Chain A
């Protein structure tokens, strides 16, 4: 069935990319963007590397906008219809291009997945979403290439080879690991990348290569970023409303889905209601950061974009709010503060577990978030911060333990 919104969806992604580039251009001259981009491309990207602190607002948003545009063009060239997973994957690129993915480091994993598809004598388009999500491991490339302990003669080919090999092994592993959490972790590739990253980093450590942790986190830009984000998400809602025959029809239907993989809201309820849901998610996530007095910067905007993107593929207000509440409750009883950087990210990216709240109710969503906010602080060590979806790794572990327990003691049966 041809959708009359097919072109509108591509146009939406192009305009979103353009908004990022234009926003970047408001803060820097082309020369400054060029210099900032060089800085971004030539430094390691281990968690947490806020590109705004590395290359400035202009270069960060330029990097994000251009990468988003390139990946949108890639989907177009592969003749794919834009649905929920397409939007989620593109927004993930936009978000993480503010803190870890850049115009240089993402391609090696993509090439690895491409080679895998050719070895399988299959179309690359069948693996495109695994490839796009798989760029979570992009920092391993730059971490090795820009390492100061290895000669460039070795580090450059080694970094490229490792990036390609991760992409090559990712498709079967990511598909298989779905069985572990039964689709209750929306960032399945984060879980797969965590497992793969743990193995690769263990091997590298055995040969004396230790990933160097980074912590670049910018502050003080809340006002300007909140204006941009609220404006952007309000536009999503207004456009969705207009495309939806000036109504909120079917938006409520989205909240009836648990969000468990796969819940493609574009296919299930249509693009206009999904766009409204994405806008609402964005406003909630931005407001959360401001309410807890957190910082809007590369990593947190990345988290917000991820929630917005997955507003087309599993997340809605009813299943993400319990996650925020769980992290909030955790902060009252645990040793950290609600606006600590890692905890802000745990709240935003912890919404990977939204399907638990959607399927089993608010209570279990809150429990999942309380557990997740502790687990996520401990698993980064395993992959040396080289898996950008560290929360997806943690969420996979939490879901794998929590879901069978909830099921075992649940009274009702389907």
Chain B
């Protein structure tokens, strides 16, 4: 696949921006490449008053992977700062795990090769 590294970087950009918009001040990002998958983990604090917005994060990141959407639209990911392309990220990954409490969010994104 062309631009694989750039695509992963854009996914990270998009999530970083989302976490900023959620009031994050302390974000840890971990990227791990294995034989058959890439795993990206975000651990972050957030503004509790924005907790209601997490519903959309869970909804969008759990969209089914759609290669045809990714191939055409991946350039849009991580580019724009007034809105998010979380739904596109959801279509670019195979699996998303999202855990949160009143203080922290943990997001794990899995993208199989």
Per-residue A-contact encoding for B75-102, CB less than 8 Å = 1, 0 else: 1100111111101100000000000000
Contact A1 to B68, CB < 8 A, known contacts A120-B2, A262-B73? no
Partner of A127, one of B1, B71, B74, B79: B71
In the bound complex, CA of A125 to CA of B83 (Å): 29
In the bound complex, CA of A183 to CA of B81 (Å): 12
Chain B CB within 8 A of A370 CB: no
- Beyond A125-B67, A414-B83, 10 additional contacts (C-beta under 8 Å) are A125-B68, A127-B71, A171-B72, A175-B75, A178-B76, A261-B73, A264-B87, A267-B63, A267-B64, A267-B87
Report the minimum CB–CB distance from A404 to chain B (whole Å): 11
* Interface pair B76/A1, CB less than 8 Å apart: no
Query: From A182, which residue of chain B is reached at the shortest CB distance?
Result: B80
Report A-chain residues with C-beta under 8 Å of the C-beta of B54: none
In the bound complex, CA of A314 to CA of B20 (Å): 26
Chain B CB within 8 A of A85 CB: yes
Report A-chain residues with C-beta under 8 Å of the C-beta of B85: 183, 262
Closest 6 CB pairs of A and B: A126-B71, A178-B75, A414-B82, A126-B67, A182-B80, A183-B76
Report the minimum CB–CB distance from A152 to chain B (whole Å): 36
Partner of A258, one of B70, B74, B83: B83
In the bound complex, CA of A85 to CA of B70 (Å): 12
* Interface pair A175/B83, CB less than 8 Å apart: no
Partner of B72, one of A83, A174, A258, A414: A174
Chain B CB within 8 A of A38 CB: no
* Interface pair A183/B80, CB less than 8 Å apart: yes
Across chains A and B, the number of contacting residue pairs, with CB separation under 8 Å, is 76
In the bound complex, CA of A182 to CA of B75 (Å): 9
Partner of A182, one of B2, B66, B76: B76
**In residues 125-162 of chain A, which contact B (Cβ within 8 Å)?**
125-130
B contacts with A, residue count (CB < 8 A): 25
* Interface pair B74/A175, CB less than 8 Å apart: yes
Report A-chain residues with C-beta under 8 Å of the C-beta of B88: 262
Per-residue B-contact encoding for A337-358, CB less than 8 Å = 1, 0 else: 0000000000000000000000
Query: From B62, which residue of chain A is reached at the shortest CB distance?
Result: A1
Chain A CB within 8 A of B21 CB: yes
* Interface pair A261/B76, CB less than 8 Å apart: yes
Chain A CB within 8 A of B69 CB: yes
Chain B CB within 8 A of A123 CB: yes
* Interface pair B79/A1, CB less than 8 Å apart: no
Report A-chain residues with C-beta under 8 Å of the C-beta of B66: 81, 83
* Interface pair A359/B82, CB less than 8 Å apart: yes
Contact A176 to B83, CB < 8 A, known contacts A1-B64, A126-B68, A128-B68? no
In the bound complex, CA of A267 to CA of B88 (Å): 11
Chain B CB within 8 A of A400 CB: no
* Interface pair A129/B72, CB less than 8 Å apart: yes
Partner of B76, one of A83, A127, A262, A413: A262
Report A-chain residues with C-beta under 8 Å of the C-beta of B84: 414
Per-residue B-contact encoding for A251-272, CB less than 8 Å = 1, 0 else: 0000000101111100110000
Report A-chain residues with C-beta under 8 Å of the C-beta of B69: 85, 129, 262, 264
Query: From A130, which residue of chain B is reached at the shortest CB distance?
Result: B72
**In residues 363-414 of chain A, which contact B (Cβ within 8 Å)?**
407, 410, 413-414
Per-residue B-contact encoding for A179-196, CB less than 8 Å = 1, 0 else: 100110000000000000
Report the minimum CB–CB distance from B47 to chain A (whole Å): 14
